[in-house]
Amino acid sequence: MTFVVTDACIRCKFMDCVEVCPVECFREGENMLVIDPNECIDCNLCLPECPADAILPDIESAATPWIELNRTYAAIWPAVSSNAGQRPPDAEAFKGVAGKYEQYFSPRPGQGD
Ligand code: SF4
Ligand code: SF4
């Protein structure tokens, strides 16, 4: 099992999750994060920290569409382990918005740290 980030993270990117991960397995895209499945130790620390409910264990059916996206972009995007000053100013406005992948997903990498 691993944990995955779903499309609920897109344009929210609150980054509360990265601070608690003991193995620094979050990777940063331009407007969402993913989890590196090869690094995640299934500790469950990040899930309750996410204000957008964007993190799920991969055994949940709602996580299934996002498993491959996490695997693919974890290999491309840079690691991020600090949330200092990174929350987008309009993050709250995109919390819970439907269809964010189709409208806003960006394959471009974030800055990382
Ligand atoms: S806390 Fe949730 S919304 Fe924020 S970056 Fe992490 S997964 Fe995305
Ligand atoms: S479950 Fe634990 S190891 Fe996996 S991404 Fe979350 S905090 Fe990191």
Residue 29: CATH number of its domain: 3.30.70.20
Tokens found for residue 44: 């469950």
49 within some domain? yes
Three-class DSSP category at 56: strand
Q: What are phi and psi of 31, to 5 degrees?
A: -135, 20
pLDDT, one tens digit per residue, over 51-105 is: 999 999 999 999 999 999 999 999 999 999 987 656 788 988 999 999 999 999 9
The percent of residues above 90 in pLDDT, for the chain, comes to: 82
Q: Which of 9, 45, 90 to mutate to test the pocket of ligand 1 (most atoms within 8 A of CB)?
A: 9
Positive/negative CA dihedral, 61, 16, 46, 41: positive
Could you tell me if the CB of 35 is within 6 A of ligand 1? Answer: no
- As a whole number of angstroms, the distance between CA 81 and CA 93 comes to 24
104 within some domain? no
Number of domains in the chain: 1
Per the confidence metrics, is the pTM higher than 0.85?
A: yes
112 within some domain? no
Q: Which domain holds residue 50?
A: 3-82
